[in-house]
A and B are shown apart, each in its own frame.
Chain A
Amino acid sequence: MRDLQDDDARSGAGYNFAYLDEQTKRMIRRALLKAVAIPGYQVPFASREMPMPYGWGTGGVQVTAACLTPDDTLKVIDQGADDTTNAVSIRRFFARMAGVATTERTTEATVIQTRHRVPETPLRDGQILVYQVPIPEPLRFLEPRETETRRMHALEEYGLMHVKLYEDIARHGHIATSYAYPVKVEGRYVMDPSPIPKFDNPKLETAALQLFGAGREQRIYAIPPHTRVVSLDFEDHPFEATKADAACALCGATDSYLDEVVTDDTGGRMFVCSDTDYCATRREASETGDSA
């Protein structure tokens, strides 16, 4: 694979394009193809050690590395933000190891790696959204045995998932699960959409390809474009995409997911868009005289 190695010392001399060797990428791509062919099914793969701790997005990084081409433009999101540690370091990692262009704009990116958010700007055909997944098994906290959860997936025995929602209502009066809200993909597999807020669940039905990588748990799964994704609920307690009941203090948006920021120790707080790119784009647009 010598011909694929980048000679430029600045972009990671001695390393293959996008850090992983070609055989590893090949293995991950095979898992990705299988995952796309069976939407929502968790495909095992031989996850590699990455130069970062588990829990920081080792799964997402491997999927991104296997998807990147030299012409791609990469955006990395951490809890909606482009400028936090995780996002900055993973973006720099790929800028150096693959020499790809990076951006903070959702519309300009071709590959977006994300931790715990889906961008507010609707994704388009041709974009790839890569999720970092801590625990891929939606049934894990209900059924600890892996052999049993696999069998439950195989036989489509998902009654237990509703037991969890039942417990929520019994204890809180409503479905209190607010992130990692379980979904059923294409009427078959129940899937954990990674810890995105349930506000983002409706956005899982999109034109972009969505890939999920769990490094420690060694699982890859996917939602192909335009796949039906239904959030589980009860007939008399339907699914609701909730957010803080406020407008963004910076851009005034009322349709985006908001972070609550404590500003002092006397109870002062403000709500701002969790998606920094969305917020910044709106503020720029209003400054230049466009409608906000």
Chain B
Amino acid sequence: MTGHPDIGIPADTAVPAPAPLLSVRGLGRRYGTRIGCTDVGFDLWPGEVMGIVGESGSGKSTLLNCLAGHLVPDAGEVIFDTRDRGPVDVLRLSEPERRMLGRTDWAFVHQNPRDGLRMGVSAGGNVGERLMAVGARHYGRIRETASDWLGRVEIAADRIDDRPRAFSGGMQQRLQIARNLVTGPRLVFMDEPTGGLDVSVQARLLDLLRGLVREMGLSALVVTHDLAVVRLLADRLMVMKDGRVVEAGLTDQVLDDPQHGYTQLLVSSVLQV
């Protein structure tokens, strides 16, 4: 970054480069002698959606759980650009701070909505939980926000007092998304958000997610084995195999011109209808 003294371009441009929202270096996690994931590093920029694809057992979910704080990685660092304190290594945060981050700036959408929802609590209560967890104590306002969010994920307003048990799979997944996004997070982790849904419901969910991501300027990490999902949703793509990142790049570039042998196999394995 020395610039070009002979043609007069200064070394530093006037506009400072924005910092990455999430910066991962050398992340690794082992299960005994076996590798969960190893030496994973990438940057995620504000407003960017990154897809992580790979076959079953390639370490996608291990990676996501390590990043989200559900698993403790053995090595590496995860730097998150917090609102108030700037970039911090979330693995070195104390547990209350990490859990606070987990219910304010972060969101986690599970593959199975049953893991992410409270099945015995009404839809409104599910959406309101995060609000109450960060100190909302006004029933009317909580309910208003909840019904607003149900509308945004296309759940009818008269279902607000129904339990998620009475919802279809697609509705449960949309409810889970509403519940996660209600506190206006900046980073969303999604573990196979469309898994187990039929294709027409998948398409609507993807439409919805795409709209919300654009509208709220979210950054997202989407783990999936469905290449169509990343094609629609992700700006960049990481391909994992045996716990390692084998290829990374812009989504269209990776999918249209795969370089690594495994990626070529993956892309050519998709059934053409």
Contacts and interface: CB of A to CB of B under 8 A. Distances in A.
A32 B121 CA distance: 36
A163 B138 contact: no
A162 B122 contact: no
B139 A163 contact: no
A236 B139 contact: yes
Contact of B133 (A159, A170, A234, A236): A159
A166 B95 contact: no
Contacts of A167: 121-122, 125
A155 B103 CA distance: 13
Contacts of A155: 95-96, 99
Interface residues of B, number: 22
A171 interface: yes
Nearest to B139: A234
B118 A163 contact: yes
A163 B129 contact: yes
A159 B134 contact: yes
Interface string A237-267: 1000000000000000000000000000000
Interface string B83-98: 0000000000001100
Contact of A160 (B95, B96, B129, B139): B129
A170 B143 contact: yes
Contacts of B137: 162, 234-235
A236 B138 CA distance: 6
Contact of B132 (A162, A171, A235): A162
Interface in A137-178: 155, 157, 159-160, 162-163, 166-167, 169-171
Name, among A160, A167, A171, A237, the residue most crowded by chain B CB atoms within 10 Å (CB to CB).
A167
Contacts of B133: 157, 159-160
A155 B98 CA distance: 11
Contacts of A235: 137-139
A171 B118 contact: no
B113 interface: no
A54 to B, nearest CB: 26
B138 A170 contact: no
A163 B125 contact: yes
B185 interface: no
B42 to A, nearest CB: 30
Contacts of A236: 138-140
A166 B128 contact: yes
Contacts of B164: none
B161 interface: yes
Interface in B154-183: 160-161
A157 to B, nearest CB: 7
Interface in A187-239: 234-237
A163 B132 contact: yes
B36 interface: no
A107 B133 CA distance: 43
Contacts of B99: 155, 157
Given A157-B133, A160-B133, A167-B121, 10 more contacts: A155-B96, A155-B99, A159-B132, A163-B118, A169-B139, A170-B160, A171-B161, A234-B137, A236-B139, A237-B139
22 contacts: A155-B95, A155-B96, A155-B99, A157-B99, A159-B132, A159-B133, A160-B132, A163-B121, A163-B125, A163-B132, A166-B125, A166-B128, A166-B139, A167-B121, A170-B122, A170-B143, A170-B161, A234-B137, A235-B137, A235-B138, A235-B139, A236-B139
Interface of A: 155, 157, 159-160, 162-163, 166-167, 169-171, 234-237
What are the nearest 10 A-B pairs in CB distance?
A159-B133, A234-B139, A162-B132, A159-B132, A235-B138, A155-B96, A163-B129, A167-B125, A236-B140, A163-B125
